[in-house]
Chain A
């Protein structure tokens, strides 16, 4: 209880619970397509928030985050289709596979900083993509893997909705706790000023490595959620343009606010779905949104909202 009080203000707790209850009731009223869409949004919300752990709270230019997402999805898909072991083990193992990839890539990338870190990350991630894309005998190459058997309990659109909602909510809570822990506090110190952080005795590279492993883990969880909804995987999941899209979600929602990226993810997926009905050039709209964002909303949508709604001194991280 004390722990709870230290983490949440009364207001944010009430809003979170109301939102959760609303989302739990929603499938009763929604057409099937929307249930599916929301299930997908939850997975991407989790993905964007996991990116933002290192981006907004760690100041690391993680340009290719979806490689961990795709890796988790593939690990899960391959496990389910090839091992014959119970499904739930796949849900547990896949995020750890992503975390392991986070460790391997991180060991190389955290030696660099800022843009150099981002560029190296982008190229190493693309390497993983290229292997996945070409390795027909194992990953299915550019076809991917389809028809992954997910039991109806969680595989139907309503089932996936609830499964993804609950897993995402639990992961967001965990990440929230991590962001507000001494680890998270130190991480934010590194974001603001890595040099100073090192001068107060923090091993910056080690801290960043651990941060990347944690973020990769949650991206892996998001990957399994994607498979739960879609029942398939394909190399596009870890293509670099998708990483950029997630990056834009973080910026759009507000990358210094915990729930910002989730909001950004919801906005962009809705936009893509609904604008996509009218025009195939929906990325044009995305481009315009991005330009408006840079000029008018440097702190993102949620950042703007909080600025208007909450006095500056009381704002929470």
Chain B
């Protein structure tokens, strides 16, 4: 579904992403791991169009999407959430998701129908699936951090993506909230059959959900494979896991 090949991004000569390769097949749950500064978020920015690559290709459903504007990438079927909470602060939880649903349905230039009556069912269904329905009328800026991170995912679902990209979905969450998010991701992948690409520092979580893991270091992809293969890879142990058994959870 997604093939990233020899991707490079240079910031004034510094190669944040340097020849990265990544493959995501339909139905996969792919985790990208690597130390801080390895280029994970940059890689995601490149895929979703927030940044334009210096060179390399990004094939999504056989089509090169490298360098497309973010809204066009989104319309191709890729949605994303952000590492730092990135929501519509002054809008209610309901409206946050509705903006995405309305955009998906190409209604953003409709000026004469009340928005209140539109896309209500679908928006509520999404909120229900992530467990935010009871908070639908709250202003999103007043939610707890954990709920805001979940709302992040809910907004991304509003575009009915085929590929969902989550940038550290559990960053800053309490263990309980992390468990909830993990359950949510499992149900998105299991029940809805969504293809998910995410990056995460919580190794327990990565190894419990990912079907494929790609390890990045200094902008390069070291290896991509099933969890067991990655866990036992000597190069990964040395480079990232420090040889310790952190990943054995």
Contacts and interface: CB of A to CB of B under 8 A. Distances in A.
The answer on A and B forming one complex is: yes
A182 B91 contact: no
Given A185-B99, A313-B137, A200 B115 contact: no
Nearest to B110: A182
Interface stretch (A31-39, A40-48, A136-144, A191-199): A191-199
B90 A191 contact: yes
Interface in B110-138: 110-118, 137-138
A201 B71 contact: yes
B41 to A, nearest CB: 14
Contact of B111 (A2, A183, A202): A183
Contacts, number: 122
A54 interface: no
A2 B114 CA distance: 10
A188 B102 contact: no
Q: Which of A2, A3, A183, A200 has most chain B Cβ within 10 Å?
A: A200
A306 to B, nearest CB: 13
A256 interface: yes
Interface string B57-72: 0000000000001110
A184 interface: yes
B214 to A, nearest CB: 22
A193 B116 contact: no
Contact of A186 (B74, B108, B137, B138): B108
Contacts of B115: 180-182, 184-185
Main secondary structure of the interface of A (DSSP, over half): helix
Nearest to B89: A192
A16 to B, nearest CB: 16
A196 B152 CA distance: 10
Contact of A197 (B82, B90, B99): B99
B109 A195 contact: no
Nearest to A206: B109
A178 interface: yes
Nearest to A314: B137
Contact of A7 (B87, B114, B159): B114
A198 B110 contact: no
Given A3-B114, A210-B109, A198 B138 contact: no
B22 interface: no
A6 interface: yes
B99 A186 contact: yes
Q: Which of A6, A178, A185, A203 has most chain B Cβ within 10 Å?
A: A185
A6 B50 CA distance: 36
B40 interface: no
Q: Interface extent on A, as a size class?
A: 20 to 34
Nearest to B90: A192
B217 interface: no
Nearest to A186: B108
Q: Which of A193, A199, A207 has most chain B Cβ within 10 Å?
A: A199
A195 B114 contact: no
Contacts of B48: 199
B233 interface: no
Given A193-B89, A196-B155, A177 B102 contact: no
A217 to B, nearest CB: 12
Given A196-B88, A199-B70, A201-B71, A186 B102 contact: yes
Contacts of A197: 88, 99, 103
B100 interface: yes
A201 B96 CA distance: 14
B112 A181 contact: yes
Contact of A189 (B79, B91, B104, B139): B91
B126 to A, nearest CB: 12
B75 interface: yes
Given A192-B87, A200-B103, A200-B159, 14 more contacts: A181-B112, A181-B113, A183-B110, A184-B115, A185-B98, A186-B102, A186-B103, A188-B88, A188-B91, A198-B70, A199-B48, A201-B104, A207-B109, A313-B137
Q: What 4 A-B pairs are tightest by C-beta distance, nearest first?
A: A201-B74, A192-B88, A6-B114, A200-B100
10 contacts: A3-B117, A182-B113, A185-B102, A193-B87, A199-B70, A199-B71, A200-B159, A201-B74, A201-B104, A313-B137
